Structure 1
Amino acid sequence: MSASATLARPGGPGLSTYDYGLYAATVFAWGFSWIAMKGQVSSVPPEVSVFWRFVLASSVMFGWSLFRGKQLRFSLSTHLRFAGLGLFLFSTNFTLFYYGAKSIPSGLLAVIFSTASIFNMILAFLLFGQRVSRQTAVAAALGFGGVAFMFWPEIAGTSFNRDAAFGLLLCIAGTLSFCMGNMVSASTQKKTISVTSATTWGMLYGTVFLGLFSWASGKSFAIETSMTYLGSLVYLAVVASVIAFASYLTLLGRIGSARAGYATVIFPVVALSVSTVFEGYVWTAGALTGLLLVMAGNVLMLRRA
């Protein structure tokens, strides 16, 4: 199926088996990434860890692209698109979120990032004139409310001082950066440029931006050599970056930004499920209520409109 054909159906047609496979791959890859990120919390500066993550991820993408014979030579104007993808999706959003996370709880991070499905709808309407159906809007609201319910005890216990408020702004900016990257990807796919080629170059540009930022801020590029750090780095680079972003961006072009963006609502549910097994997370009545809201929104978002 051509890129123009897939992008012609972002509004409401039912999902194919392939679409559901992409959706599941995205949700589970990012859902497990939360526990992997804990292995990155160390003396290594956040932007340096993300830099090495994308050094590895972009290397894998270039190797895969060459092996599959994907086009890698493009015009300067197309490279500007790739640079935008790298800036918004593969560098800025991660850096903003990592710094914001220093002063606000992880539960609030999940709630903020779940608004990506809402921001995607708004940006797609403003930039591309994509109609937002009532069904899609209600589904996004259910998902956002459900994630808020699940993490409410942690959020309610947060003391909003000046640092926390600044952290909140950084994370909102990080979410907007992620969504702007979604819009760049969607417009790039409309130009019939493959997701693999765009992601390969986008990750490289993101790596360059992160490297320059780390260097300019005087950070050391040294990393830990523990199995925990290196293992989590490999997972985040290969599974949570290469596989997840390739799946998500392909899905974005096939079913539209609003519906694909709902993955950002579902993967915190997977993360909590993983936490239940490995960290003893206990599901409260509020969390179960939130889970039901999220799942109801998921069914509503993905079913035939």
Structure 2
Amino acid sequence: MSASTVGESLFTPRNLAAFLLVSAIWGGTWLVIRDQISSVPPAWSIAYRFVVAAAGMFALAAFRGEPFRLARSGWPWAVALGIFQFSLNFGFVYNAEGFITSGLVAVMFALLVVPNALFGRLVLGQPIKSEFVLGSAIAAVGVAMLFAQEYRASPATLGEVLTGAALTVGGILSASIANIVQATEGAKRQPLLTLLAWSMLIGVGINAAYALVFEGPPQFDPRPEYTLGILYLGLAGSVVTFPLYYGLVRKVGAGQAAYSSVVVPIVAMILSTLFEGFVWGPLPAAGAAITLAGMVVAMRGRAAPPPRRATPEP
């Protein structure tokens, strides 16, 4: 990217509209996932989602003039993304929402920038500023407050709450590894949409194989809401948002575009309040505010742009 392609304001009407649309769509994916796992094993729902997403991504690649074929050098990166992003990451997230609310999973995922920075330091040599460490510590305190409220206000046992938290951490780490894969020079040399499309198909194969072994034959919920959820997650949650997000990265820079990580949990928590009965009070309100404030401090303290994200928030 040339210097001339970065420097626009995030607050121009077109850029702000794209930013808000991406944040709204990603914020809504968390609640839709909750419905997806209510009647169908998570692995099958994930497989269906990425059948739709891969088809849409191939169509978008064709429209953008990118090739269908992936070079031999691109397959290791596609396999890595298929495993860590489109299998492990989503497997952890879908299962986590069986234990804790979608809003809390989304808030925890705002902490994705933390392992991104740590792995970026270890693998890519990107420096970490003291402001980032301080902001991350503040955000961690806020997340702890939210989980304390979850344990106090919900019928879930402490073990279930901790299981949901552990699964979410697994998803965060898997997504972060995928982010680092996307940031490597070998992956960046591949056509982005083509690489993502094949990675999604690999994810479909892994999830379907896992589901066949551990969940039995394919299962599908005939409810219109389930089908619409698959389409929303596959098309809106992946195919629509990718070009918009990366367009923002090119225009306003990765730092400003990354502020979607603060807006997405706000949308998710609002939806969780409306549809999952999340109860607000002094403790969760303070926890959410502290978490988001910490993430703002952390992102402002980053010395280098974050690694390219392999996928939007689940």
Name the TM-score class by shorter chain. Answer: 0.7 to 0.9
Match of 1:180 among 167, 177, 181: 177
Q: Alpha-carbon deviations, 1:200-254, whole Å to 9, x = none? A: 2221221122122222335221311111111111111112222345555676788
Deviation at 1:89, TM superposition (A): 0.9
Q: 8 Å contact 1:48–1:219 — kept in the other structure?
A: no
Q: 8 Å contact 2:31–2:102 — kept in the other structure?
A: no
In structure 2, the CA distance between the partners of 1:15 and 1:117, relative to structure 1 (3 Å rule), is farther
Amino acid at match of 1:83: V
Aligned counterparts of 1:196 and 1:30: Cα–Cα separation in 2: 19
In structure 2, the CA distance between the partners of 1:6 and 1:73, relative to structure 1 (3 Å rule), is farther
Aligned counterparts of 1:20 and 1:276: Cα–Cα separation in 2: 25
Partner of 1:159: 157
Match of 1:223 among 203, 220, 223: 220
Q: Alpha-carbon deviations, 1:101-127, whole Å to 9, x = none? A: 434555653454333111111011111
Amino acid at match of 1:200: A
Partner of 2:84: 88
In structure 2, the CA distance between the partners of 1:132 and 1:248, relative to structure 1 (3 Å rule), is farther
Deviation at 1:281, TM superposition (A): 4.6
TM superposition score normalised by structure 2: 0.78
In structure 2, the CA distance between the partners of 1:273 and 1:249, relative to structure 1 (3 Å rule), is same
TM superposition score normalised by structure 1: 0.80
Q: 8 Å contact 2:108–2:143 — kept in the other structure?
A: no
In structure 2, the CA distance between the partners of 1:143 and 1:251, relative to structure 1 (3 Å rule), is farther
Q: 8 Å contact 1:182–1:249 — kept in the other structure?
A: no
Match of 1:35 among 20, 31, 35: 31
Equivalent residues, number: 297
Aligned counterparts of 1:19 and 1:148: Cα–Cα separation in 2: 34
The SS at the match of 2:92 is helix
In structure 2, the CA distance between the partners of 1:218 and 1:304, relative to structure 1 (3 Å rule), is closer
Partner of 1:234: 231
Aligned counterparts of 1:99 and 1:229: Cα–Cα separation in 2: 17
Partner of 1:124: 120
Partner of 1:114: 110
Partner of 1:243: 240
Aligned counterparts of 1:251 and 1:141: Cα–Cα separation in 2: 28
Aligned counterparts of 2:215 and 2:275: Cα–Cα separation in 1: 36
Q: 8 Å contact 1:84–1:184 — kept in the other structure?
A: yes
- Which has the larger displacement, 105-114 or 120-129? 105-114
In structure 2, the CA distance between the partners of 1:281 and 1:108, relative to structure 1 (3 Å rule), is closer
The SS at the match of 2:135 is helix
- Which has the larger displacement, 146-155 or 117-126? 146-155
Partner of 2:134: 138
Percent identical: 31
Partner of 2:65: 69
Q: For structure 1, which runs of at least 5 residues remain unmatched after alignment?
A: none
Deviation at 1:66, TM superposition (A): 1.0
In structure 2, the CA distance between the partners of 1:133 and 1:111, relative to structure 1 (3 Å rule), is same
Deviation at 1:177, TM superposition (A): 0.6
Aligned counterparts of 1:181 and 1:221: Cα–Cα separation in 2: 27
Q: Alpha-carbon deviations, 1:254-294, whole Å to 9, x = none? A: 855x8766644542221122234455655322333234334
Q: 8 Å contact 1:53–1:237 — kept in the other structure?
A: yes
Partner of 1:45: 41
Amino acid at match of 2:134: V
Deviation at 1:68, TM superposition (A): 1.9
Q: For structure 2, which runs of at least 5 residues remain unmatched after alignment?
A: 304-314
Q: 8 Å contact 1:140–1:262 — kept in the other structure?
A: no
Aligned counterparts of 1:143 and 1:78: Cα–Cα separation in 2: 36
Aligned counterparts of 2:45 and 2:97: Cα–Cα separation in 1: 15
Q: 8 Å contact 2:120–2:126 — kept in the other structure?
A: yes
Amino acid at match of 2:117: M
> Root-mean-square deviation (CA), in Å?
3.5
Partner of 2:201: 204
Aligned counterparts of 2:86 and 2:17: Cα–Cα separation in 1: 23
Q: Alpha-carbon deviations, 1:76-134, whole Å to 9, x = none? A: 22111111111111111111232344345556534543331111110111110111122
Amino acid at match of 2:141: G
Amino acid at match of 1:170: L
Q: 8 Å contact 2:43–2:211 — kept in the other structure?
A: yes
